[in-house]
Chains A and B, each alone.
Chain A
Amino acid sequence: MSWDPRPVPDVTPETERYWTAAAQGELLVRECQDCGLVYHYPRSLCPDCFSERVEWREASGRGEVYSYSTARTMSGWPDDDLPLVLAYVELEEGPRLMTNVDADPSAVEIGTRVAVEFRDVDDAEIAIPVFVPEDG
């Protein structure tokens, strides 16, 4: 079995809005109306206080690399996407989100400022957020 093309996430009632918003060019986070926590990945109950009063909030789409690792080879992964920079990006809103930094690995360091872009998948209803370094 191969990853080529990139895998499509499982869309669930809890995560559908996140993925469909991405296809519209929006990166969403969840915000608890009771305790104020802004969190990722989406969950219907706040993971700090179990409040069900959680809202979607559009993130700025900017952040910085919290950490990263570059895979040089990966069986089954699309060759065009190698080497593959896996990263946690710390969003301006706070949460650290696992993603790819779609750039030459030499352009990526901890602290590199990045901005979101969206990649199409086979399912036209959804898209996948990735990040690229700001200002080249």
Chain B
Amino acid sequence: MAGTEPVYIAGAFEHPTREAPDKSTMQLHAEVAKGALEDATLEKGDVDGFFTAGVPEYESGLPPLIMADYLGLEPSYADTTDFGGSSYVSHVGHAASAIRDGRCDVALVTLAGRPRSHGQATGSGARDLRTVQDSFERIYGATNVSMYGMAAQRHMHEHGTTSEQLAEIRAAASHHAQYNEHAMYREPVTVEDVVESRVVADPLHLLDCCVISDGGGALVVVSEDVRSNLDRECVELLGFGESIGHHDAGRIDLTKTAADRSGSRAFAEAGLGPEDVDYASIYDSFTITVLEAIEDLGFCEKGEGGSFVEGGTLRAPDGDLPFNTDGGGLCSNHPANRGGMTKVIEAVRQLRNEANPEVQVDADVALAHGTGGSIGTRHGAATVVLGREDR
């Protein structure tokens, strides 16, 4: 394994806003950068690595340049890998590689966006045909919900998964969201509430879908040298993996994701397995996104995700696999339609005992997993395994 020098997450900050009509997206980037650096007890001048993905509002504009310009950064290393929502999980891994290569010591990762202020509604179709694939997909009215709907439909067909089992994922997230003062939806919902909500694109109901929120978040990833001088509890990056899943020339399998590849790499690097995970942040653009990832990450066999989530498995603090204790993208926040950032942030909170007390888990090892793009067409998968500093 290349590069085994320890790397740490020293700072994590989630913007409290869920709707920011009076702020620019760049301003949100700056605010979360400031918040994460303060959390890490570091200064802006300490930053020598900068990681971010595209800026959705600006189709061009060369994200690393306009953002470094706006933020006043002159990094010795920059990375604008864009896998959609999983990007920010990947950035943690990429930052670790850069740090181990000696390219930087303090890597800042930022995300921000304002889809809610731009009036995006659940079930909207993207109207621009930008890529070659769009001309074979978007012309048929493919929306994110209907593409994930096809995945859910096929999973149900092959494995007998039920709407009620998917609904339990939302119900568990809502159970956690009631304790999060910043969550968009704090009211706990039942399985019945989910399956009785209106169908957006079958078999997915409105409550199978994540929130649409403005906001953002940031992380600070640091070297051992930097960490040793900090008076702040850090979280160690134990393992990282990423991959891409896609059409495969017409052989797409809608029942599985590239999480099997990203997860197995992350676990191998950590020298751990699914049974060692005390808390998991799992990307939840839709309930089916969680179900397939649970299987592909190895928490249960393929096809058994439905029965796995029944019986309170995902509910903190006592379930076998407490997940998304902030309420996740389903109930709390899905800033810029890109939830990988908040997945890492909540895992860091759990390992620092900074989660909301009612859902704080006694966790030494946490996992954060991102699914970007669409499992209905092509997606990025990125997994980090994180450990408590004094575990």
Q: Which residues in A have some Cβ–Cβ distance to B below 8 Å?
A: 1, 3, 6-12, 14-15, 37-41, 47-48, 66-77, 81, 84, 86-88, 94-100, 105, 110, 128, 130
Contacts of A96 in B (CB 8 A): 247, 250-252
> Is B27 an interface residue when CB atoms closer than 8 A count as contact?
no
Contact of B135 among A10, A94, A130 (CB under 8 A): A10
Contact of A66 among B123, B136, B154, B198 (CB under 8 A): B154
> Is B149 an interface residue when CB atoms closer than 8 A count as contact?
yes
Please give the distance in Å from A4's CB to the nearest CB on chain B. 11
Task: Give complex CA distance A72, B150 in Å.
Answer: 14
- Chain B interface size, as a band, is 35 or more
> Is B195 an interface residue when CB atoms closer than 8 A count as contact?
no
Q: Are A69 and B123 in contact (CB under 8 A)?
A: no
Main secondary structure of the interface of A (DSSP, over half): loop
Please give the distance in Å from B161's CB to the nearest CB on chain A. 13
> Is B226 an interface residue when CB atoms closer than 8 A count as contact?
no
Q: Which residues in B have some Cβ–Cβ distance to A below 8 Å?
A: 121, 123-125, 127, 129, 132-143, 145-147, 149-154, 157, 198-204, 247, 249-252, 254, 377
Task: Give complex CA distance A70, B80 in Å.
Answer: 35
18 pairs, CB–CB < 8 Å, chain A vs chain B: A9-B139, A11-B135, A41-B133, A41-B136, A41-B247, A69-B146, A70-B199, A74-B141, A75-B121, A76-B125, A84-B146, A86-B147, A86-B149, A88-B150, A95-B249, A97-B136, A98-B142, A100-B141
Contacts of B247 in A (CB 8 A): 41, 96
Contacts of A72 in B (CB 8 A): 198-201
Task: Give complex CA distance A100, B127 in Å.
Answer: 17
Contacts of B249 in A (CB 8 A): 37, 39-40, 47-48, 95
Closest CB pairs A-B (n = 7): A95-B250, A69-B149, A9-B135, A39-B249, A67-B154, A67-B150, A69-B146
Q: Name 12 extra pairs, CB < 8 A, besides A41-B136, A81-B141.
A: A40-B249, A41-B132, A41-B133, A69-B201, A70-B199, A76-B125, A86-B140, A86-B149, A94-B251, A96-B247, A98-B142, A105-B202
**Known: A69-B204, A74-B141, A110-B153. Contact between A9 and B250, CB under 8 A?**
no
Q: Are B143 and A15 in contact (CB under 8 A)?
A: no
Please give the distance in Å from A98's CB to the nearest CB on chain B. 5
Please give the distance in Å from B250's CB to the nearest CB on chain A. 3
Q: Are B251 and A71 in contact (CB under 8 A)?
A: no
Task: Give complex CA distance A96, B250 in Å.
Answer: 5
Contacts of A11 in B (CB 8 A): 135
Please give the distance in Å from A47's CB to the nearest CB on chain B. 4
For chains A and B in complex, what number of residue pairs have CB atoms within 8 angstroms? 129
**Known: A74-B125, A97-B250. Contact between A7 and B146, CB under 8 A?**
no
Q: Are B137 and A98 in contact (CB under 8 A)?
A: yes
Q: Are A86 and B146 in contact (CB under 8 A)?
A: yes
Contacts of A12 in B (CB 8 A): 132
Please give the distance in Å from B148's CB to the nearest CB on chain A. 8
**Known: A39-B250, A68-B150, A95-B249. Contact between A6 and B142, CB under 8 A?**
no
Task: Give complex CA distance A99, B124 in Å.
Answer: 18
Q: Are B154 and A15 in contact (CB under 8 A)?
A: no
Task: Give complex CA distance A97, B138 in Å.
Answer: 13
Q: Are A71 and B146 in contact (CB under 8 A)?
A: yes
Q: Are A40 and B125 in contact (CB under 8 A)?
A: no
Q: Are A3 and B157 in contact (CB under 8 A)?
A: no
Q: Are A86 and B142 in contact (CB under 8 A)?
A: yes
Residue of B at shortest CB range from A91?
B250
Residue of A at shortest CB range from B254?
A67
Task: Give complex CA distance A67, B251 in Å.
Answer: 13
Q: Are B154 and A99 in contact (CB under 8 A)?
A: no
Contacts of B136 in A (CB 8 A): 9, 40-41, 97-98
Task: Give complex CA distance A120, B59 in Å.
Answer: 31
Q: Are A86 and B153 in contact (CB under 8 A)?
A: no
Contacts of B123 in A (CB 8 A): 71, 73-75
Contacts of A105 in B (CB 8 A): 202
Q: Are A98 and B146 in contact (CB under 8 A)?
A: no
Output the residue of A7, A14, A39, A100 with the most chain B CB within 10 A: A7
Task: Give complex CA distance A37, B124 in Å.
Answer: 35
Q: Are A88 and B141 in contact (CB under 8 A)?
A: no
Please give the distance in Å from A37's CB to the nearest CB on chain B. 6
Q: Are A110 and B147 in contact (CB under 8 A)?
A: no
Contacts of A74 in B (CB 8 A): 123-125, 141, 143
Q: Are A7 and B201 in contact (CB under 8 A)?
A: no
Task: Give complex CA distance A40, B152 in Å.
Answer: 23
Please give the distance in Å from A68's CB to the nearest CB on chain B. 6
Contacts of B135 in A (CB 8 A): 9-11, 15
Residue of A at shortest CB range from B246?
A47
Output the residue of A47, A88, A100 with the most chain B CB within 10 A: A88
Q: Are A94 and B250 in contact (CB under 8 A)?
A: yes
Residue of A at shortest CB range from B198?
A72
Output the residue of A14, A37, A84, A87 with the most chain B CB within 10 A: A84
